[in-house]
Amino acid sequence: MTPEQREQALRERIERIEALERELKAKESAKKQVPLRLSGTLWNEIAAWAEEDFRSVNGQIEYILTEAVKKRKGRG
């Protein structure tokens, strides 16, 4: 491989890495963080439900909210 070919291959690798970094940043910014205060009782209920469904508490809360929005829009 000539030095020019190596340089071109490196440039292409750098471009692929930069594209992956842009994609990752876009995905990270897609989810929003929301501070949420719950009573201990509600937290425990959601945690138990999450465990039954093999989800994290955060994942369970997201699931509950997604289902509520679907139901509100008449899709659930």
**Is 46 within 8 Å of 38 (Cβ atoms)?**
yes
Question: What is the pTM for the complete model shown?
Answer: 0.58
Distance CA(62)–CA(30), nearest Å, equals 14
Angle ∠(71,75,46) on CA atoms, nearest 5 = 40
* 42-55 average pLDDT score: 96
Q: Could you tell me the pLDDT band of residue 29, with boundaries at 50, 70 and 90?
A: confident
Going from N- to C-terminal start, the domains of the chain cover: 1-31, 34-76
Amino acid identity, residue 51? Answer: E
Amino acid identity, residue 74? Answer: G
Angle ∠(72,63,35) on CA atoms, nearest 5 = 95
Q: Which CATH architecture has domain 34-76?
A: Orthogonal Bundle (1.10)
